[in-house]
Structure 1
Amino acid sequence: MPQLSPLSPGSPLTVVAALRAAGCVFAEDEAELILATAPTPDELAAMVDRRAAGLPLEHVLGWAEFHGLRVAVEPGVFVPRRRTEFLVDQALARAPQASVVVDLCCGSGAVGVAIATALGPVELHASDVDPAAVRCARRNIAAFGGHAHTGDLFDALPGHLRGRVGILAANVPYVPTAEVGLLPAEARDHEPLTALDGGADGLDVLRRVAAAAPDWLAPGGCLLVETSERQSPAAVEEFTRAGLRTHLAASEELYANVVIGVRERQGGGSAPSRSPAR
């Protein structure tokens, strides 16, 4: 990219000023990323315009940073949140020997990619009800020989996975319907409602996942679902009702809560416990 004078249309100062005027709180950081990503001055101007119009930064850049990786994120696809890195860490800690990984409600496939990157060779599957998400996930998981499927939860998965899944990561929608309108405009206006709206209490999809998961998990396999602190007691109840040995992990730093359910190797269950914040 050619050197620009400090006051030229594509200069760092001008980009920062445009983003700040649009209300971007971290204008300097965003300007640096946009300047580094734009291949031409014309595309730079277009990217700044899109960001100033309210598109999520990740949709403008075409990628999101997640768990130390750069994951492709296409327009209209749910942007992976930093707090969800905690779910990935919990999966790796609970099932470091997993050979079959499923990223359910996958969005961009970021969770599956992060887990597969850490574990090494695995059989990786990702699924989502949104075709745009599946197309994006397919791009991201291709390097791992992953398979992307379109459909409603477990209906999308091939039958040969039943009883074989070592890690079942499901970043389900968990915003109560009445609270979707309170989300930031970037989410409300540019991410699919199916990735946000979890029903009246936010747990509709979680209940369905928990109820069906034991049939898909391998003995000792684990289901991990992100939820809110307020919803976590009810979420734990759903996991326990499904016959899973249940644990609640929380990170104060990331404001993250992950419910973990393990399929017992020889049946039985135990009371839920809570790990210290990480």
Structure 2
Amino acid sequence: MTSWPNVIAESAKRLEAAGVHSPRNDAELLAAHVSGLTRARLLIADDPTEAQVARLRGLIERRADREPLQHLTGSAAFRYGELAVGPGVFVPRFETELLVDWALEHLPQGGTVIDACSGSGAVAYSIATERPDVRVWAVEIDADAFEWLESNLDGTGAVPVHADAVAAGTLAELDGRVDLVTANPPYVPFEIEVAPEVRFDPSGAVYAAEAGLAVIQPLAVRAASWLKPGGWFAFEHDDTHGKAAPEILSVSGFTEVSDHDDLAGRPRFATGRLGLSP
């Protein structure tokens, strides 16, 4: 019978050969998932059963095929929570936490928020749970993603809305009453090379026509209608959009326009404030 440290080492070697970015980390997390133990506890745990080894090796092969780790464990860590994810929904990325940081800093007490293109609900979940004083609506058009969204937002107070975020009738009752609109829309240009794991994300949540701006442009217009004067719009974009994203905000009626880098120094999200009435 092999030990957990040995089977983890074997697993990490297989993932490294497959080109996985963090082989040891992923091997340990999958072993913890299979065993039900913490990563630290695995170092001193009893040897795994044959069934556990077989299950782990099966998951390792799927990960070697570059299936996202989060699909294999069924959850994705995001800020202070764990979100249920799997086939049919975009796996939230760490970079998006920076957008949430900014949003929380610009959200007034008791404010109203619309999270457009909400996907798994990562942004809406974080805002609703970290700021229980605010009201949050989360809009998602894709039926499969919406099921994950509903599940993740259950009990948070945030309201899931199955609709097209850029349609004029979506949440029209909130037009002119919203303090903050956030979005992590599809934005990758068709010609951009992406990580192998991205092929497991729904293509409609990733790509947005040749330039990657097919959703961002109409969404800026819709956000301007939702927002009250002085309200803010913040959205994530491709790192090739460092110039185009702020320009879209400027021509859509926003002022105090800025673009923000991620921790790697790449353009990551843009923000703007709807012009105040004279």
What residue in structure 2 maps to residue 159 of structure 1?
A: 172
| Aligned mate of 2:188, from 142, 152, 175 | 175
- 1:14 is aligned to 10
| Residues 110, 133 of structure 2: 8 Å contact kept | no
Q: How does the TM-score come out when normalised to structure 1?
A: 0.84
Shift of 1:95: 1.7
Aligned to 1:116: 128
Q: Give the TM-score normalised by the residue count of structure 2.
A: 0.84
CA contact (8 A) 1:243 1:263 kept: yes
In the aligned structure 2, how far is the partner of 1:51 from the partner of 1:183? 17
CA distance in 1 between partners of 2:15 and 2:240 (Å): 35
Q: Which of the residues 221, 246, 250 maps onto 1:236?
A: 246
Task: Letter of the 1:146 partner, please give it.
Answer: A
Counterpart Cα distance in 1 of 2:10 and 2:247: 53
- What do the CA deviations read for 1:217-246 (whole angstroms, capped 9, x no partner)? 133221111123432322222211111124
Deviation at 1:46, TM superposition (A): 3.6
Q: What RMSD, in angstroms, separates the aligned Cα atoms of the two structures?
A: 2.4
Helix, strand or coil: the match of 1:152? Answer: coil
Q: 8 Å contact 1:137–1:148 — kept in the other structure? A: yes
**Matched position secondary structure for 2:215:** helix
Is residue 2:255 matched to residue 1:245? yes
Aligned to 1:86: 98
CA deviation after TM superposition for structure 1 residue 6, in Å = 2.5
Structure 2: unaligned runs, 5 residues or longer: 37-50
2:146 aligned partner, one-letter code: V
Q: Secondary structure at the match of 1:82?
A: coil
Q: Which segment drifts farther, 11-20 or 165-174?
A: 11-20
Quickly say closer, same or farther: Cα 1:44–1:122, change in 2 above 3 A: farther
Identity of aligned residues (%): 32
What corresponds to 1:273 in structure 2? Answer: none
* Other-structure match for 1:65: 77
Q: For residue 200 of structure 1, what is the amino acid of its counterpart?
A: E
Which residue of the other structure, out of 203, 221, 235, is the alignment partner of 2:213? 203
Q: Look up the equivalent residue of 1:214 and give its one-letter code.
A: A
1:251/1:31 CA distance change after superposition, 3 Å: same
- Tell me the SS of whatever aligns to 1:11: helix
One-letter code of the match for 2:183?
Answer: A
Question: Matched residue of 2:154: which SS?
Answer: helix
Matched, 1:193 2:203: yes
CA-CA distance at 1:143 after TM superposition: 2.2
Say whether 1:5 aligns with 2:2.
Answer: yes
What is the letter of the counterpart of residue 159 of structure 1? A
SS, match of residue 12 in structure 1: helix
Q: Deviations over 1:44-71 (max 9, x none)?
A: 3442232122211111111112223222
Q: Using the TM superposition, give the Cα deviation of residue 252 of structure 1 relative to its aligned residue in structure 2, in angstroms.
A: 5.0
In the alignment, the residues of structure 2 paired with residue 46 and residue 122 of structure 1 have an alpha-carbon distance, to the nearest angstrom, of 44
Aligned partners of 1:34 and 1:47 also within 8 Å: yes
Report the Cα offset of residue 160 of structure 1.
2.4
Rounded to whole Å, the distance in 1 between the matches of 2:256 and 2:117 is: 21
Deviation of 1:43 (Å): 4.4
2:46 is equivalent to residue 49 of structure 1:
no
Give 1:251-266 correspondences, 5 Å limit: 251-254=261-264, 255-266=266-277
| TM-superposed deviation, 1:105 | 0.9
The 8 Å contact of residues 236 and 246 in structure 1, kept in 2 or not, is answered as no
Aligned-partner residue type, residue 28 of structure 1: R
Which whole-Å CA distance do the structure 2 matches of 1:27 and 1:118 have between them? 32
- The separation in 2 between residues aligned to 1:69 and 1:62, in whole angstroms, is 13
Task: Supply the AA of the counterpart residue of 2:76.
Answer: A
The answer on whether the counterparts of 1:6 and 1:14 sit within 8 Å (CA) in structure 2 is no
